[in-house]
Structure 1
């Protein structure tokens, strides 16, 4: 695979990482301050959700780093290696951790929606949960396929 084809993906991953980092640094604190000023009861339910989002940011960035490693392995012609399988496994675990965190915080989303009388807030929690479940499933499928490809490659290397 040419280096240019992975360069676009690397840039996309870096852009996503920068956007999420900017939201963590500027967006979430501004949201918390505004909520605290306007409605303290609303803030009581919002703060635990924001803390969950900050905690979920850690495995998110670990997963992004692992995705960059996979793209680097592809550039180095090591796509079908045990290193790529391990990176995909870490991406899967990071996505599972993120979905678990949001599943645990869904009651908080519900209470926040009841407080603000906005049922769309629960949908946001569900989207965050199911998006990470989809990523975990996709990473697991890719990991299994790549594991089988690595096994076939090692058999062929031993045959020759």
Structure 2
């Protein structure tokens, strides 16, 4: 890849991280307070929902860190290595963890009869998006493994 493309991708990852961090720090607490004030019968769910979202944000930021490492491997001409496969595996695992946490959270909210249809739709979009990311990362891991095997066979042949 060209140097400008990698720099653009790194900047994009950084900007996504900054935007999500600002949303988590500034918008999410005030939105939770507003929701608790508008629905006092569900106010006891304010902190469990916030904690659940913050836990998934940790996995999200870890995935962004792994994506940055992957871009560094590509920049250093080390894209076809076990390090890249490990970074992809960590991204896949983080996506699976986010998906599981959202499914558990939605079942928990449905159990206490507090799952609003709008929240359910947003939760399902997040679940399916992370499922697509996990499947795509798994496919890339398998392709990378095949390339690494071919590369090692080629190195042994020469």
**C-alpha RMSD over aligned residues:** 1.4
Q: Does 1:112 align with 2:110?
A: no
Relative to structure 1, is the Cα distance of residues 123 and 109 closer, same or farther in structure 2, using a 3 angstrom cutoff? Answer: farther
TM-score between the two structures when normalised by the length of structure 2: 0.92
Structure 2 unaligned blocks of 5 or more: none
Mapped contact 1:91–1:139 kept (Cα < 8 A) = yes
TM-score between the two structures when normalised by the length of structure 1: 0.91
Of 29-38 and 53-62, the range deviating more from structure 2: 29-38
SS of residue matched to 1:139 = helix
Mapped contact 2:36–2:46 kept (Cα < 8 A) = no
Tell me how many residue pairs correspond in the alignment.
156
Shift of 1:38: 3.0
> Which residue matches 2:54?
54
Counterpart CA distance in 1 for 2:77 and 2:2 is: 10
Shift of 1:119: 1.7
Shift of 1:50: 2.1
> Which residue matches 1:90?
90
SS of residue matched to 1:112 = coil
Shift of 1:46: 4.3
SS of residue matched to 2:114 = helix
> Which residue matches 1:39?
39
Counterpart CA distance in 1 for 2:4 and 2:109 is: 42
Mapped contact 1:109–1:122 kept (Cα < 8 A) = no
Counterpart CA distance in 1 for 2:20 and 2:7 is: 20
> Which residue matches 1:128?
126
> Which residue matches 1:2?
2
Mapped contact 2:95–2:133 kept (Cα < 8 A) = yes
